Structure 1
Amino acid sequence: METGKTQLEIDDALVQHLLSAQFPQWAALPIRLVSPGGWDNRTFRLGEHMLLRMPSAADYASQVEKEQQWLPRLAPLLPLPIPVPLAIGKPAAGYPWKWSIYRWLDGDTARSAQIADPHDFATGLAQFLIALQMIDTKGGPPPGPHSFYRGGALTIYDAETRAAIAALKSKIDAAVATEVWEAALKTIWRDPPVWVHGDISPGNLLVKAGKLNAVIDFGQLTVGDPACDLAIAWTFFTGESREAFRTMLPFDPGTWARARAWTLWKCLIIAAGLIDSNDTEAAQPLRIINEVLTDHRVKT
């Protein structure tokens, strides 16, 4: 989720109108809003075997053609299912952007699903990322606004991060948070760019029968530095599963330093935005921030 974006209202009636006009062969199928839904896109289940993804704001619109172009090429080379586009819709009926129809992938998100073996889950995700990073990146999209600069340099978020640290100075160890951030800024990715999912989070990992079944939402797909894809080590994994994930991905200390910084940045801006209005919701990002700071103390 990126904050501060103006979103368009997207409802069943709009979806039905677009389908009837552009894909009449599917217009009679039932339409159901997927809940909980994402922020970047509104997702609707279409019948039993398809779904629609519709960008919710202009900042996400460029992701549609990127996914249409690259996901069919990546899918055969990955060890887990990813979304496969079936069709691309055109702007119409007051809806200003292109949109996609995909095959439906079974599973509940890791945010709510019961995971049978966290260690196995962590290593399975690590294997997926390894496979993704091994795919030829020729012609792949470099980091930019379409990926919210995932895969790129952390410096784009420097001022925002320092402002959030200052806003939370009564809630966190601001000195150590600044140390984590500045340590990461001193490092760079020196290897050739690799494929980066850009939003490896519990809401984008599907679980079926207790196991990792699919990886979804490639809107922030890019080629560059994979550090941002490692943030799940702190946002989801703990203890043995975190160490298993880290062991499977033996990046240099600088890459892990940037991974901590990406995690810190996201949790800082979320917590800073909630701290005055909802202390309960701020508790989770604050907990992750403290775990990142503790990990920094241990690993450095």
Structure 2
Amino acid sequence: MSTGRTHPGTHPVDDDLVRRLIAGRFPQWAGLPVRRFPSGGTVNAVYRLGDDMLVRLPLGRGGADDVSRERTWLPRLAPHLPTLVPEVLGVGEPAEGYAWPWSVYRWLPGENPEAGALDEPELLAEDLAGFVAAMRRITLPGAPQAHRGGPVTSLDAETRAAIGELRGIPQEGVDCDAAVAVWEEALRAPGQDGPPVWLHADLMPGNLLVDGGGRLASVIDFGCMGVGDPACDLFPAWNLLPAGSREVFREALGVDDSTWVRGRGRALSQALIALPFYRTRNPSMARHARHVIREVLADEG
């Protein structure tokens, strides 16, 4: 999610536009205050609407597709999950010069967890494993393909291109030879054993909310959800959890060696691709990519 314009072709969004959209589509909410909500993401602008709702407005076509996906699937997934997930309260249409469908959700309290500053990392690891396991058990028919849910080999060209870019940015200090070794190990790992499973497919810290005790309270932003390789939902192991809690997460899920290796490679791939793109565009995303790269390359598996 984002409140800025990061990708080419994104649509400018401001408070006045949001007020006009709400008044036109949901006049019963027209008198509620609208406040920009800070976010380090890149796909949506997010606004608080009163005390109990938020408005999410895609900044481009990719985010617009997510609106339809969440509207269709979140009500079906929610009863099967152990944590709260977004509840769609209304879907808006293009208007006022804004080109995309947008959505109103019930506000979910909590804070994004921060790597290196977790109150209860082992308990959070267990909570995350419980959520991932519950997603995997879902058997709803007609599921879409998850974003990033295909075989690891589908990421090879983009990952190698990113490593090439980072070789040309020595100030980033990425051990590109080590990154290649981890990536090639993921490519050699046996593929998914069994049918595709339901995935959130974007379990980054910005899509998790924890309560005051550091426990998982809710999971948000399901725009990448669908079915695919179970390794896709292992991202928290390297993007959030410290090494000891990483093992708690793995053991709670019962992850086999090949799936773990693919998950580590996928996490590294995403960070390698993100870093050269975001390093001058989005400091928060670039900082997180550096963290994931360090964690993966320091992980002995």
> Normalising by the residue count of structure 1, what TM-score does the alignment of the two structures yield?
0.89
1:106-255 correspondence to structure 2 within 5 Å: 106-111=109-114, 115-143=118-146, 147=147, 150-169=148-167, 170=170, 171-186=173-188, 187-210=190-213, 211-255=215-259
Offset at residue 113 of structure 1 (A)? 11
Gaps of 5+ in 2: none
Which SS does the other structure have where 1:93 is aligned? coil
- Looking at structure 2, the residues matched to 185 and 275 of structure 1 have their Cα atoms a distance apart, in angstroms, of 27
CA shift, 1:275, in A, is 6.3
Verify the 8 A CA contact 2:126 2:252 in the aligned structure 1. yes
Matched AA of 1:179: A
Q: 1:233 to 1:31 in 2, by over 3 A?
A: same
SS of the residue 2:54 aligns to: strand
Q: Distance in 2 between matches of 1:139 and 1:112?
A: 35
Q: Is the 8 A contact 1:113 1:207 kept in 2?
A: no
Partners of 2:283 and 2:8 in 1: how far apart? 22
Task: Point out the more displaced range, 104-113 or 277-286.
Answer: 277-286
Shift of 1:38: 2.8
Which amino acid is 1:177 matched to? A
What is the CA distance between 1:274 and its match in structure 2?
5.9
Q: Which amino acid aligns with 2:273?
A: I
1:42 counterpart residue number: 45
Q: Is the 8 A contact 2:239 2:288 kept in 1?
A: no
Q: Please report the TM-score for the alignment, with normalisation by the length of structure 2.
A: 0.88
Q: Is the 8 A contact 1:115 1:207 kept in 2?
A: no
Q: Distance in 1 between matches of 2:98 and 2:116?
A: 34
- Structure 1 259/112 Cα, relative in aligned 2: closer, same or farther at 3 Å? closer
Distance across 2 between alignment mates of 1:188 and 1:248: 21
Q: Which runs of 5+ in 1 are unaligned?
A: none
Percent sequence identity over aligned pairs: 45
Structure 1 contact 137–193 (Cα < 8 Å) conserved: no
How many residues are paired up? 292
What CA RMSD, in Å, does the superposition of the two structures yield over aligned residues?
Answer: 2.5
The answer as to whether partners of 1:42 and 1:55 remain within 8 angstroms in 2 is yes
In the TM superposition, 1:237-276 aligns within 5 A as 237-273=241-277
CA gap of 1:195–1:274, structure 2 versus 1, over 3 A, is closer
Q: Name the stretch that deviates more: 213-222 or 156-165.
A: 156-165
Q: Distance in 1 between matches of 2:87 and 2:116?
A: 23
Q: How far apart in 2 are the matches of 1:164 and 1:290?
A: 16
Q: Post-superposition shift, 1:277? A: 9.4
